[in-house]
Structure 1
């Protein structure tokens, strides 16, 4: 059993301020950000070309530079990530699990920054599963505090950089303070459109499908829908991921730490998603690893069950 003190003594994430600027006081100009502001791209032949950046942000972003070999037209619109291996990363370095979770937060900041710079439209990350509630209480308590710390510290960056936040999962199990913070963060970023960051907290893919079916069944019972009205698109509308309008289905799923399973994540949405399994633990998943995953995606031929003609 991991002791509570072990987690409390390591509750610090470098580069994250310790206090939040309240939304009413947030200013979108001037302050430096953790997120990039200049964007450039390359052609399929590898030659640099200038392209418009996404909407949102402070208006200072002009062009996007992609790593050699990547073509913007072939990038996935929606990337989903199972951020695995924080504990193993920490153990391999003789550090407590808390240090691994903190390092994992920094890795997520890096991926958000790169996704903005490279033109990814939606990034969905598996931060805490419904099964994770069965971990030792000190670890769970630490993670809840860590989520609050990150939300507080980065709310200004999310707003300024045009990042829209959507929290999915069973929020009723989260601490009330975290529930309120998540709701506030969703509200102040709801008009942003540069990147949609979907954070799965207390999430279960099976539970999401069940609650969608329950909503539909209730609508049939109330006479709002007929049984023949139930289609795949109707089910999708009732899922938590419906917040990602237009890009609800991930093009690419990345899982780190060498594990080869979905772990109850986005079970409906991943039907035709390309899967990429990285050997590195999540805290070590940086720019080179992300670019390698995107390059592997671009080399694949997506058929969606159809037979291609030669």
Structure 2
């Protein structure tokens, strides 16, 4: 039998923290962030070794302790995650997504010069590659990118040589203040909750390009709002997950210099904290 582990906030009295068993859940992005939010709220979690690898990645932001876990003494609270909606439910608490509060505080405690005009960082799916090529051609006065990208991805998924070529093609826009970073870091277990490189880029960005991924909605939209960047949403206009956030549907860098820009960014950050965190609501005393 594989040994199970316990994850708790390092500076709490973890012996008195009620124990919740989450070993049945996969360690995708939203599960990982929910786990981090539960630990922040005062729960101890019984976890697998794989889940522990993901949780260890948050230690520099929120100190946690991973230790051996004894059998028994586990509380039961229903957990439901619907990635299609999106909707995350813990007991009676429901949010579109649940982020730990400390993650939303990164943007307010780590100050960076916003020298990146627009950024995108993520997995190179065929749809994203094509959408991004069209986006760059439309707004940065070039007609050469899309045909080159189309030829490069004629066989998909791209191999390492093709990915290297794509990086060079999109890297040419750096002189315009545009950072396009194709990578699979978000699929790596240690980056499931927070990818340091990705967030460093978000915190330096004024605008974040947000094409849809596997679903009509995208984590990137919410993450941009949390990080203090304005999302550019390139997806279905009827997407209900956009409400009540502020965003633009097409690139317009003049908005950066408008007085209204800081109001839009501030609105998104406060809205994200209100809708996407639940530190007090998740606290054990509300369920025991």
Report if TM-score (shorter chain) is over 0.5. no
More strand per residue: 2
